[in-house]
Structures are given as C-alpha cells and as structure tokens.
C-alpha cells in the first residue's frame, strides 16, 4: 500500500530544512527527508518550500511533483536524492530500483527519486513521478 498517493501530483512531504530560506524557494534533497535551496545544476530537486523555517533543521512542508510515495527495493547501493530507474529484478522476481545516470540513461527511463538510502536488496522510500 502506498504511503502517500495523489494521481494529479503535488504531494507535500515534511522534511528538515538545512538552513533558513524563504517560502517559495525550490529545494533539493540533501539527505534522508532533508532539503536545502536548489542550485543551477541540481538533479535531485524535491519541490517548493511552503513555509519559511525559523531555524536551521526546522521541519517544513515541501510541495513535490510526486504522484506517489512508496517503498521499493534497491538493485544497488542508493543514496537519498538519487534519481531512479527500474533495475534488474531480484532472484525471486521482485522489482528493484537502480540509479539513473545523466548522460548514460534516456530521460524516459527516469521513474522517481530516492527519499532514503539503502544497500542492495534493502527497502527505501521512493517518490514516484
């Protein structure tokens, strides 16, 4: 069962914000359920900060472009913020996820982003596009 789902997109997730930045700022993943201001070359953009934090590490809602947040198995070691594609199936046929690589993989293969990290065959949280 999905942790969160919204077929229209725009699921809001509560994450720790690394620094005091203004509401409306686009943020990127910096760790497990942690974010900070995105940069020009960010590939792990999480979404838009909905409320200004009063101190570093305050938890705030971020409006994402995810349609669903759920768990999945790692086909390899993954970190929070890694863009994901479908990986090789596990030994008993279970679906697993692998890191999508800029310049190596076609954009159409991108299915979501790791929200937590894990080693091969471990379960992680994934935001699905």
Q: What is the pLDDT of residues 57-85, one digit of tens each?
A: 999 999 998 999 999 999 999 999 999 99
Give the list of residues 6+ apart from residue 115 with CB closer than 8 angstroms, or none.
13, 29, 32, 33, 69, 80, 124, 125, 126, 127
pLDDT value at residue 1? 42
pTM for the full model?
0.90
Question: Which one of 20, 43, 64 terminates a domain?
Answer: 64
Among 16, 36, 64, which residue terminates a domain?
A: 64
Task: Judge whether residue 46 has pLDDT over 50.
Answer: yes
48: domain range? 4-64
Task: Please check whether residues 8 and 35 belong to one and the same domain.
Answer: yes
Q: Average pLDDT of 109-119?
A: 96
Domain boundary among 43, 64, 85: 64
Number of domains in the chain: 2
Same domain, 52 and 88: no
Summarize pLDDT for 97-110 with one digit per residue, the tens: 999 998 888 888 99
The CATH number covering residue 89 comes to 2.40.340.10
């Amino acid at each position: 069962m999905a942790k969160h789902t919204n077929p229209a997109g725009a699921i809001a997730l509560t994450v720790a914000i690394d620094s005091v930045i203004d509401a409306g700022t686009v943020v990127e993943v910096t760790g497990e359920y942690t974010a900070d201001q995105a940069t020009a070359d960010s590939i792990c953009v999480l979404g838009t900060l909905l409320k200004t934090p009063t101190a570093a590490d305050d938890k705030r809602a971020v409006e994402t472009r995810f349609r669903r947040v759920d768990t999945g198995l790692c086909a390899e070691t993954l970190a929070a913020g890694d863009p994901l594609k479908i990986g090789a199936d596990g030994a008993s046929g279970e679906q697993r996820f692998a890191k999508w690589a800029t310049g190596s993989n076609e954009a159409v293969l991108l299915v979501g982003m790791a929200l937590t990290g894990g080693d091969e065959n471990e379960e992680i949280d994934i935001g699905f596009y």
